[in-house]
Chain A
Amino acid sequence: MADVTTTPPLTPAARPARPERAEKKPVISMATLTPEMVAMQQHFGEPVIQPAPFEGVLITDTSKVPDVALFVRDELHLEMMTNVTCVDYIKEGYLEVVYHAQHITGGAPLCFKARVPRDERAVLPSITPYYPGAEFQEREIYDLYGVRFTNHPDLRRILLWEGFAGHPMRKDWHEAYYEQENKPYDSRWPAGHHKLAEERVPWGDNVQYPPGFDPTAYHGNPDEGLYNTMMSEAPTGGAADIPFSETGIRTDELIVNMGPQHPSTHGVLRMVVKLDGETITDLKLVLGYLHRNHEQIAERNTWLHNIPFTDRLDYLCGMANEMGYVIGVERLMKLQPTERAEYLRVIMAELTRIQSHFWSIGFLLNDLGAFYTPALYFITEREFILDVFDQVTGSRMMNNYMRFGGVARDILPEQLARIRLLVNERLPRAIDELERLLSDNEILRARTIGVGYMSAERNIAYSVTGPLLRASGVHYDIRRADPYSIYNRFNFDIPVLYGGDVFDRYRIRILEMRQSLRILEQALAQIDQTKPGDIQAGRKAYIHRAPAGEVYSRVETPKGELGFFLVSDGGQNAYRYHVRSSSFINLGAVKEMTVGQKVADAVIILGSLDIVLGEVDR
């Protein structure tokens, strides 16, 4: 990439403790005022745009949000709306919707915000018409925070179901097993014996109902809204009402549910497809079957508590997720990890990338109908990488390895020797074998070339990141675009392909694995110059306090851009913890990729996205 920009130092303006924040006029230091912010201020003027506390600009006139979005996209050329999320400032009495837009050429994202009251006036104009990638994210905000977006094409709940009582991420909404606002909780056995969560709640279970609710008289159907958006005019008179098609046959469109239990949906995803014969005419995704409230639990947890939870986000690449989270918290805490820890992180993240790509290619082949045989080869190779993880971190998948300022355990020379053996001998051969087996396979090529095409422009509009974006010709990888950790020390390329179809998405993963091996070779050579045992900066601690501030840190995981939007109020917990997950946002583009294709191709298009439901639903 031509312009390798380094991240500007994140220096959140010193800010008062949270209760006073509303009264004090927010001040932004000139150091964090980027040229984009200046341009926005010049264009819109003070009444509309103000410097926001923490970072970014605040849009005071909420009706101007679409104008600002259009200006940001067309004048400032921040083509990609990376992240849209919401923060509930309950003491100040407003919800703050936070947008992060960025150049596709790299650099730190621009942040702008808008505030809405917490009552029924929580309405904001949607930016989905300008940034289609915001569609799912706005639906998520509506679902979890209750902010309604006007002019949104399909504003329904996305992670929970229609009819759920309340908006659970609001700070005054408490789950059934609620104990206290923040961990660490008080003693759970003050009387000398513990009490189960089930014993504390009226229903003896993780449920709660509005007062007076009578389930025997309840006839709600969570899917009603979904099917209403997909049905055209329903034929009232039965078959006689179905019109004749051009071929003189009476045809009707058919709605088929794929999932949530379906072998090709890679987990508990539900695709509702509308079919004309075998051709897909419409597609809706139903998410949330694995929505396990990661964000809410994380806001109760202490900072350190969250590391093992990040493993379970994208459960195939635990350490890549951990890396994103610890880097974010380190930026908040202004902590610099030790040299050796940086190398260990990079080694682990790149090994994670290789094993994740092995898995994804194996299961793409599974979806193509090569049932399990190719996948078996790749799982075999993956097991060798998991062995390394097992030895170094103590676990195959849920590694819980990284810490703020370092890593949990040092690596032994024999473990390093094992990684070297893998990187120099076994894995290159395995990747060669994989290519020999597949890349020229006629069936694979016939099934994938030209299928699921998505142009670079549309990918950017849908905020698609990761191998998908690079397979459509966009040279965008966070490791180069907004470098983190020590990636700027290594000599490696960002592979780019221009086909934009399933075949190129398959091929780019092979190329990325080869680049990961290059990084690993260099990292393994350089780690010997670091001091063994020097793996933790500062003191080990259970309770960490992060200074008040907010940070949006992102890393390039095998699936794409993984962002953590963290807000700290100076305490030992995250005030807001948001995961910008690439799997979730990449799914927004599925509809455009699949409409017009055959239903059998929808399966492989989904396979080429390489989604992990833990990260989609969080």
Chain B
Amino acid sequence: MADTETTQPGDGTGDAIQNDPRVPPELDRNVFITTLDAVYNWGRKRSMWPMLFGLACCAIEMICTAAARFDLARFGWELMRPSPRQADLMIVSGTVTKKMVPQIVRLYNQMPEPRYVVSMGACATGGGPFKEGYNVVSGIDKFIPVDIYIPGCPPRPESLLHGFIKLQEMIDRQSVRTVPWYRPGGSDVIPVPLLGPDIIDVRRASEIAERNKVMAESPALAEGNAQGQA
């Protein structure tokens, strides 16, 4: 790059590695100077290993995206790993049910950082057509942070590819100086939800307990929540 001052970390131009005037002429074309971010992001975004993990209908389109016609390998993403320990990316491809969400949170916790989450399709994003169902979570982002949302029911392979490209652009904008996984302390582990009379988000447990106590005392408040004991 001509001038490091004009290149902000992660401005999306990291790929265009050009010669620097400070490099002696005899080392021209042998030594390149660039930012750490540019190299770091360039490598990461082109060797994403998604987790081999399908939930519902969207998983079929995800498999089609990885197959011959749409060929995810063009983007360097073809290596689907069945183990979360080897995966960088979780594609939440389908309806997230209350029974499944503890497993998804556990898998997310098992993934090493840096990790990304793509919410594929209407169900994973917000419940989709099944939102009103009693066993359906209204979007995976109620439990784990999501980087890219892809609309559609199911999204066509083209939209999934578009989502991947958007994720690559997002990775390109990140900087090692600011990303959370190099900060002291690291990221928090998300507590695994419990399956009780209904799904229990452990982070909200004391709030639920308190509110439930109040509601048990005043029946008027409990009006909207009278079904739990049915």
Contact = CB atoms under 8 A, between A and B. Distances in A.
Interface of A: 159-161, 163-168, 170, 172-179, 197-198, 200-203, 205-218, 220, 222, 260-263, 267-268, 288-294, 296-297, 300, 308-309, 312, 315-316, 375-376, 379-380, 383, 396-398, 613-614
B212 A211 contact: yes
19 contacts: A163-B195, A163-B196, A165-B198, A173-B227, A175-B132, A206-B134, A211-B216, A215-B200, A215-B205, A216-B209, A218-B196, A267-B55, A291-B97, A292-B133, A293-B133, A293-B136, A312-B56, A379-B63, A614-B57
Contacts of A220: 194-196
A397 B99 contact: no
Contact of B213 (A167, A212, A613): A212
A212 B99 contact: no
A318 to B, nearest CB: 9
B186 interface: no
A213 B100 CA distance: 22
A261 B67 contact: no
Nearest to B136: A292
Contacts of A166: 227-230
Contact of B212 (A160, A161, A212, A267): A212
User: What are the nearest 3 A-B pairs in CB distance?
Assistant: A293-B133, A165-B197, A315-B57
A209 B225 contact: yes
Given A268-B100, A290-B97, A379-B68, A215 B134 contact: no
Given A203-B208, A379-B67, A198 B133 contact: no
Contacts of A376: 67-68
Nearest to A387: B69
Contacts, number: 210
A130 B131 CA distance: 39
A616 B194 CA distance: 24
Given A212-B216, A222-B195, A380-B68, A205 B138 contact: yes
B196 to A, nearest CB: 5
Contacts of B197: 163-165, 209-210, 213
Contacts of B132: 175, 177-179, 197, 293, 297, 300
Contacts of A211: 212, 215-216, 222, 225-226, 228-229
A296 B227 CA distance: 16
A215 B206 CA distance: 7
Nearest to A380: B68
B129 interface: yes
Contacts of A260: 100, 103
Contact of A213 (B69, B201, B228): B228
B61 interface: yes
Overall SS of chain A's interface: loop
A82 B191 CA distance: 43
B156 interface: yes
A295 B82 CA distance: 32
Given A261-B53, A288-B99, A297-B132, A164 B198 contact: yes
A116 B213 CA distance: 36
Given A293-B130, A300-B132, A398-B57, A209 B100 contact: no
B146 interface: no
A150 B82 CA distance: 41
Given A216-B209, A261-B53, 11 more contacts: A172-B230, A179-B132, A203-B225, A212-B212, A212-B213, A214-B209, A263-B52, A292-B95, A315-B57, A379-B64, A380-B69
A202 B225 CA distance: 7
B171 interface: no
A476 to B, nearest CB: 28
A177 B227 CA distance: 11
A201 B82 CA distance: 38
B107 interface: yes
Contacts of B138: 197-198, 205-206
Nearest to B63: A379
A291 B137 CA distance: 11
B228 A210 contact: yes
Given A166-B230, A215-B196, A288-B97, A308 B56 contact: no
A213 B204 CA distance: 13
Given A209-B228, A309-B129, A383-B64, A293 B154 contact: no
Given A197-B138, A218-B194, A296-B134, A208 B227 contact: yes
B14 interface: no
Given A175-B132, A211-B225, A202 B215 contact: yes
B185 interface: no
B60 interface: yes
B225 A208 contact: yes
A202 B224 CA distance: 7
A308 B154 CA distance: 12
A143 to B, nearest CB: 11
B142 interface: yes
A71 B153 CA distance: 47
Nearest to A177: B132
Determine which residue in A179, A208, A376, A614 has the highest number of CB atoms from chain B within 10 A of its CB, and name it.
A208
Q: Which of B131, B135, B153, B194 gathers the greatest number of chain A CB atoms within 10 Å?
A: B135
B224 A201 contact: yes
A333 B219 CA distance: 45
A490 to B, nearest CB: 29
B202 to A, nearest CB: 8
Given A175-B133, A261-B107, A293-B135, A397 B228 contact: no
A497 B109 CA distance: 47
Most buried by A among B54, B60, B199: B60
A214 B133 CA distance: 24
B131 A208 contact: no
Nearest to B138: A206
Interface string B79-99: 000100000000000110101
A175 B53 CA distance: 29
Contacts of B54: 267-268
Nearest to B156: A396
B53 A205 contact: no
B17 interface: no
Contact of A297 (B67, B130, B142, B208): B130
B154 A398 contact: yes
Contacts of A263: 52, 82
B166 interface: no
Contact of B230 (A165, A200, A288): A165
A211 B208 CA distance: 11
A611 to B, nearest CB: 13
B67 A290 contact: no
Nearest to B66: A372
Contacts of A290: 55-56, 94-95, 97, 100
